[in-house]
Amino acid sequence: MNKMKKLLSLAMVFVMLFSLSACKSSEGGEAASKEGATLTVAYQYGMAYAPLQVMKEQKLIEKYYPDVTVDWQVLNSGSAITEGIAANSIDVGAMGVAPAITAVKKGVPCKIFSNMSSQPHKIMSNNPDIQSLSDITPENKIALVNIGSIQHILLAMAAEKELGDAHALDDNILAMSHPDGMTALLAGSVDCQLTTSPYVFKEAEEEGIHSLSSISDVWPEGNSFIVALASTKLHDENPDLYDAVTKAMADAIDYINNNPEEVAAMLCENEGVDQETMLTWLQDPACGYSVETTGLMQMAEFMAEAGFIEEAPADYSELVYDNVKGN
């Protein structure tokens, strides 16, 4: 009997030691995972993405999560970014409101975690005969980034208001990047370009270029342009890192709003202008930075009505995480 008690005691000691070892191994694995955390952030160039440039320059994510390695990637479209999120190769991405809504509604595992910026949008033209959308003929071409971009949705909004048909100008569209579209507009290869900052500022200085007022009538100054998405994997599996990203975004936007001269110095080289010119652009009334979305549901509902997405979101929370404020 005593021998049996000894055997049971030894077995219990072994179980306890094994359990402690497993706990330590688990804790070590979690620590190693946290210490070795990597975060891939994808964005596009331009003034609208300034918060991410500030986050990168000032290492604001690392401020709240010191042991992370951040991989910053510059891609050429929102669709490329959503493809990366879907493939689990991108954790955080920034893009226009329209492709962000499309991504969430199509089931890409992500949601919006912050607004980033509002920017001026205008239809610029080199054709003096085009003063409104009703002047555009089938032969007149309109350069914009791509089908389904926020610029396409804004054109559709304006077309519905002025022409009674959201898709009236779809056949006039030529998909071009903002820089290529500006080159084509100035060369006369296209009659119009629907673009944003800084191209609207640069084109307005060119002789023979004028703007149509169509877009401001349907998408007022201050409405969201660029938003930031986070993968559900990041949000659900590493809430501490997700929290660090949201805090870093808020810090970056505060910095931009409180230090415009320093931000102008940071951005001017990329845009090929002097600091003073960049500061003027940043202080344009239509150029703003905020964590709160504006017009998100309005755009989503229009996109559903016009057939860009199958159905409108049931409510705001379908598109955003719980920390996001706005409409």
In a domain, 30, yes or no: no
Average pLDDT in the 127-147 region? 95
Average pLDDT, the chain: 89
319: its two tokens: 């598109």
Whether residue 40 contacts residue 71, with contact meaning beta carbons closer than 8 Å, is answered with yes
230 and 112: one domain? yes
183 and 234: one domain? no
CA distances from 45 to 159, 167, 197, 278 (A): 28, 29, 11, 15
87 and 140: one domain? no
229 and 98: one domain? yes
321: its two tokens: 């995480």
Nearest to 293 by CA among 316, 327, 317, 318: 327
Give residue-wise pLDDT tens across range 236-277: 999 999 999 999 999 999 999 999 999 999 999 888 899 999
In a domain, 28, yes or no: no
261 and 273: one domain? yes
Give residue-wise pLDDT tens across range 47-57: 999 999 999 99
Residue type at position 304: A
212 and 157: one domain? yes
* CA-CA-CA-CA torsion sign (56, 58, 63, 64): negative
In this predicted structure, what is the pLDDT of residue 81? 93
297: its two tokens: 């549901």
Give me the percent of the chain exceeding a pLDDT of 70.
89
- Please, which residues have CB within 8 angstroms of residue 153's CB and are 6 or more apart in sequence? 98, 299, 302, 303, 306, 308
In a domain, 1, yes or no: no
In this predicted structure, what is the pLDDT of residue 35? 58
Q: Domain with 57 in it: what CATH number?
A: 3.40.190.10
41: helix, strand or coil: strand
In a domain, 49, yes or no: yes
97 and 184: one domain? no
Last residue of a domain, one of 163, 185, 218: 218
User: Which residues constitute the domain of residue 140?
Assistant: 121-218
112 and 133: one domain? no
212 and 235: one domain? no
98 and 74: one domain? yes
Last residue of a domain, one of 195, 218, 241: 218
Last residue of a domain, one of 172, 189, 218: 218
pLDDT band at 2 (very low <50, low <70, confident <90, very high): very low
Average pLDDT in the 80-93 region? 94
Give residue-wise pLDDT tens across range 17-49: 334 334 433 333 333 345 569 999 999 878 999
240 and 277: one domain? yes
In a domain, 139, yes or no: yes
Give residue-wise pLDDT tens across range 230-241: 999 999 999 999
224: its two tokens: 């969201």
- Please, which residues have CB within 8 angstroms of residue 192's CB and are 6 or more apart in sequence? 123, 124, 125, 126, 127, 130, 136, 140, 141, 142, 143, 185, 212
pTM of the model: 0.85
CA distance 3 to 173: 88
In a domain, 298, yes or no: yes
In a domain, 15, yes or no: no
227 and 115: one domain? yes
In a domain, 103, yes or no: yes
Give residue-wise pLDDT tens across range 88-103: 999 999 999 999 999 9
In this predicted structure, what is the pLDDT of residue 16? 38
The domain total for the chain is 2
Whether residue 308 contacts residue 153, with contact meaning beta carbons closer than 8 Å, is answered with yes
